[in-house]
Amino acid sequence: MKVLGVIAAIVIFVAMCFGLNYLAYGNYAFFAPKYTAVDNKVFQESAQYNLGMIRDLENLKMEYETGDATTKSVLKPTILHRFSVYPKDRLPPDLRSFYEALETN
């Protein structure tokens, strides 16, 4: 009888371990997207991201302005895409006007 009690205790312990792991996975699955969204927002608010993006967009603008007609036609879709992922209200006035001019052409 004692042996059956020990076996039952082991089975219950293993079942509880699996159950707790399942609950932990469910908890992770629920909260992971929220943690990722917060991390992404913090990253996009960082000075490094903003300064790097502005510098990158300024380089694209300079390449576009110094290029010939073929270069401009090739760069235009890339520039429009790169500008579209960055908020317009954070752009400096010169980049904002450049982007709006490219959008209308």
Task: Report the predicted TM-score, pTM, of the whole model to 2 decimal places.
Answer: 0.66
Instruction: With cut-offs at 50, 70 and 90, classify the pLDDT of residue 98.
Output: very high
pLDDT, average across residues 16-36: 86
* pLDDT tens digits along 41-64: 998 889 999 999 999 999 999 999
Predicted confidence at residue 29, as pLDDT, reads: 84
Hey, how many other C-beta atoms are within 10 angstroms of the C-beta on 58?
Answer: 14
Q: How do the domains of the chain map onto residue ranges?
A: 1-36, 47-104
The span from the CA of 72 to the CA of 84, in Å, is 18
Indicate whether 24 pLDDT > 90. no
pLDDT in the model for residue 23: 83
% of the chain with per-residue pLDDT over 90: 58
